């Protein structure tokens, strides 16, 4: 078997594709239905059921799994990735994973070295599809990733990177949300990625939320719903499956489900008015898949089980009450929130019994795969139950056109990914999101004629995609392009006394100081840094590069903006606002409470200044 990762993405040696075409002739047109009927059974289900009937039990089990795999190539990854695959998965390559377990999907991660550059990604996708289609009764795979933009982004430059959800919430434009989905979807599809675990449909009403935060469009359920639906329609236009997450709502928790087991204490009535609203909107927009949350929600299910394993939540509410009959995918089964109560051999079985269709990234696929197989063989799960999920998955693959054409092309990458038009669109959208929260004494905008020398200090968190930043350098570079003389000095998220002193000394040679702040708390050394910079008498401009709540920690700062993320596109937009090249237009999509009295609102939802 040869992987095109060492050659052209246009390789046409696809003998097994004919098998799929013969069995599914005419399916794509029939399955590309209007959103309102996207998941309804069609006369062509007969053909899909025929595909299911020819599958072995082992093939059916495999079709339910979406798995990680290390490497930039489906057949020839680097030795370090082969070693990682052998250790964690028991196979050497993606092709071996597919041959052994017949998985129905693969998820790409930056840390798994799947996403080096657009052509490599397309080659990897083609190699994965070829490996599957060359199997007996081979089917195309759903290739997924978390391309939320903002702080969660697996595919980096030169692909187009957009502002994240909370920034889009600040921009309040459904057109921009739809454009983001359309452009992002087109680029993903060009690279062979056909399912995006986005948008985040959580309503973030807890400033202390450690896992959602700026990944949410905001705190107003109706505004979140409108933007979720718009982004979903954008992805649909590019034939990429969007995924609303994390059902039934992860927006009010102070515990990260990656490392703990959160409990949501909302009443059923509050859930209906708050958490449910964006998911209803996503379903009405024809959402292709819904991702579950590893949270306990006693008002919806008092068993103590996480929602991922809850029949009352997934089958009773999501499918029954909300009427959703599309694909349900778990959040990663390697997260602590779903592993707290049950063992890794029980979780996948219980998830299927609850109503899940796709089992995402179990810690050990061998344990999980055999657990499902054994559950069918011993009667705990019926083969008919598996068939229900496989039919939903095949309907989705059909709607996406994968049963007719699963491959990416080099020409498609070149004409689609990171084009000048797409990059300019992202910049224009970002300019509409930057939020000016404080501007006392008309500190802003800065003018290179009167404040020519700018010192940029602050936090330099790691790039979400590994291809952007560092933030202080990006800001300094943007100011330089705008006619200033700018210097960058990284001071980190916890600057030492020595680092603070160095920044204060550097400020003596500047006309103004811009500070990038990151999740500042009452005891944060970032507060000390800002206070000592203020003492120099130089104008200080604070830019919250993640949570907008930072502004509450700086009552003496006379100019403060929210950028909502530290990726280049948002930082460049903030620089243009600070320099007065564009007027600030963003409005807070969440309220900001007082630091000294969180029961009091300092800046209400919708707050935002302009020039």
CA–CA separation, 322 and 61 (whole Å): 27
pLDDT at 44: 78
Q: What is the mean pLDDT of residues 237-249?
A: 97
User: In the CATH scheme, what is the code of domain 434-603?
Assistant: 3.40.50.1700
Q: Residues 519-528: pLDDT tens digits?
A: 999 999 999 9
Q: What is the mean pLDDT of residues 167-190?
A: 98
pLDDT surpassing 90 at residue 195: yes
CA–CA separation, 84 and 106 (whole Å): 16
Annotation says 301 is catalytic: no
**CA distances (Å), 340 to each of 242, 260, 261, in order?**
29, 8, 7
pLDDT at 18: 38
pLDDT surpassing 70 at residue 69: yes
Query: Could you tell me how many helices (H) and strands (E) the chain has, helices first?
Result: 23, 18
Taking alpha carbons only, the member of 409, 424, 414 closest to residue 160 is 424
Residue 122: count other Cβ atoms within 10 Å of its Cβ: 26
Cis omega (within 30 of 0) for bond into 470: yes
pLDDT at 43: 54
Contacts of 399 (CB under 8 A, 6+ apart): 28, 31, 32, 33, 38, 288
pLDDT at 449: 97
State the average pLDDT for the chain: 92
pLDDT at 271: 96
CATH class of 4-416: alpha beta
Domain spans of the chain, in order of start: 4-416, 434-603
pLDDT at 209: 81
pLDDT at 262: 84
Catalytic residue (choose from 123, 331, 427, 460): 331
Between 421 and 208, residue with greater pLDDT: 421
Q: What is the mean pLDDT of residues 311-326?
A: 97
Residue 58 has which token pair? Answer: 């082992």
152 band by pLDDT with thresholds 50, 70 and 90: very high
Taking alpha carbons only, the member of 402, 537, 539, 516 closest to residue 461 is 516
Q: At what angle do helices 174-190 and 420-431 cross, to 10 degrees?
A: 150
pLDDT surpassing 90 at residue 122: yes
pLDDT at 40: 61
pLDDT at 2: 34
**CA distances (Å), 238 to each of 160, 410, 425, 532, in order?**
15, 18, 16, 50
Q: What is the mean pLDDT of residues 318-334?
A: 96
SS3 category, 222: helix
Between 27 and 419, residue with greater pLDDT: 419
pLDDT at 46: 87
- Percent of the chain, pLDDT > 90? 87
pLDDT at 27: 40
pLDDT surpassing 50 at residue 8: no
Q: What is the mean pLDDT of residues 559-565?
A: 98
Q: What is the mean pLDDT of residues 398-408?
A: 95
pLDDT surpassing 90 at residue 163: yes
Q: What is the per-residue burial (b if ≥16 Cβ within 10 Å, else e) of 503-526? A: bbebbeebbbbbbbbbbbeeebbb
pLDDT at 32: 39
SS3 category, 56: coil
pLDDT at 29: 39
Q: Residues 252-285: pLDDT tens digits?
A: 887 777 878 888 999 999 999 999 999 999 999 9
C-beta separation of 138 from 108 below 8 A: no
Q: Where are the beta strands (DSSP E) in 460-606?
A: 485-490, 512-517, 540-544, 559-562, 592-593, 601-603
Catalytic residue (choose from 258, 370, 387, 404): 258
SS3 category, 437: strand
pLDDT surpassing 90 at residue 467: yes
pLDDT surpassing 90 at residue 14: no
337 band by pLDDT with thresholds 50, 70 and 90: confident
Q: What is the mean pLDDT of residues 63-68?
A: 98
pLDDT surpassing 60 at residue 6: no
Annotation says 119 is catalytic: no
């Amino acid at each position: 078997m040869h992987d095109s990762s060492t050659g052209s993405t246009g390789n046409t040696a696809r003998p097994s594709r004919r098998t799929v075409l013969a069995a599914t002739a005419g399916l794509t047109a029939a399955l590309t239905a209007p959103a309102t009927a996207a998941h309804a059974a069609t006369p062509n289900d007969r053909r899909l059921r025929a595909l299911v009937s020819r599958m072995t039990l082992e093939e059916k089990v495999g079709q339910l799994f979406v798995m990680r795999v290390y490497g930039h190539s489906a057949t020839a990854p680097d030795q370090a990735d082969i070693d990682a695959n052998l250790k964690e998965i028991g196979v050497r390559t993606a092709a071996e994973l597919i041959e052994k377990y017949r998985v129905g999907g693969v998820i790409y991660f930056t840390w798994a070295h799947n996403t080096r550059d657009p052509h490599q990604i397309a080659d990897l996708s083609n190699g994965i599809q070829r490996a599957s289609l060359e199997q007996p009764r081979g089917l195309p795979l759903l290739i997924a990733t978390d391309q939320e933009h903002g702080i969660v982004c697996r595919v980096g430059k030169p692909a187009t990177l957009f502002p994240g959800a909370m920034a889009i919430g600040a921009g309040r434009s459904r057109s921009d949300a739809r454009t983001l989905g359309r452009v992002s979807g087109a680029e993903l599809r060009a690279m062979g990625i056909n399912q995006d675990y986005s948008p985040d449909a959580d309503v973030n009403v807890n400033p202390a939320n450690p896992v959602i935060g700026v990944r949410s469009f905001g705190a107003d359920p109706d505004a979140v719903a409108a933007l979720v639906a718009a982004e979903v329609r954008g992805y649909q236009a590019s034939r990429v499956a969007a995924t609303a997450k994390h059902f039934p709502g992860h927006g009010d928790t102070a515990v990260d489900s990656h490392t703990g087991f959160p409990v949501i204490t909302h009443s059923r009535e509050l859930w209906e008015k708050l958490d449910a609203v964006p998911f209803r909107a996503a379903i009405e927009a024809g959402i292709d898949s819904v991702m579950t949350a590893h949270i306990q929600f006693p008002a919806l299910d008092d068993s103590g089980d996480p929602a991922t394993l809850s029949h009352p939540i997934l089958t009773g509410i999501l499918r029954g009450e909300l009427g959703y009959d599309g694909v349900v995918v778990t959040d990663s089964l390697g997260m602590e929130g779903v592993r707290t109560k049950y063992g890794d051999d029980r979780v996948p079985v219980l998830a299927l019994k609850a109503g899940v269709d796709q089992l995402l990234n179990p810690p050990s696929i061998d344990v999980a795969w055999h657990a499902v197989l054994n559950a069918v063989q011993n009667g705990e799960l019926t083969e008919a139950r598996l068939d229900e999920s496989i039919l939903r998955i095949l309907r989705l693959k059909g709607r996406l056109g994968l049963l007719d054409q699963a491959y990416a092309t080099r020409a498609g990458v070149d004409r689609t990914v990171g084009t000048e038009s797409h990059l300019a669109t992202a910049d224009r959208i970002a300019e509409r999101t930057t939020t000016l929260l404080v501007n006392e004494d008309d500190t802003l905008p800065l003018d290179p004629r009167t404040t020519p020398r700018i010192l940029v200090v602050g936090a330099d968190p790691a790039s979400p995609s590994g291809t952007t930043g560092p933030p202080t350098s990006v800001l300094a570079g943007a100011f330089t392009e705008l006619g200033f003389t700018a210097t960058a000095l990284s001071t980190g998220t916890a600057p030492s006394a020595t680092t603070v002193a160095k920044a204060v000394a550097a400020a003596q040679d500047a006309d103004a100081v811009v500070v990038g702040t990151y999740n500042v708390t009452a005891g944060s050394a970032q507060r000390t840094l800002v206070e000592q910079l203020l003492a120099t008498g130089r104008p200080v401009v604070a830019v919250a590069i993640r949570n907008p709540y930072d502004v509450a920690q700086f009552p003496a700062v006379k100019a403060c903006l929210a950028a909502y993320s530290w990726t280049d596109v948002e930082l460049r937009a903030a620089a243009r606002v600070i320099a007065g090249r564009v007027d600030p237009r963003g409005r807070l999509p969440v309220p900001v409470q007082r630091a000294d009295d969180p029961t009091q609102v300092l800046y209400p939802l919708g707050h935002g200044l302009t020039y």
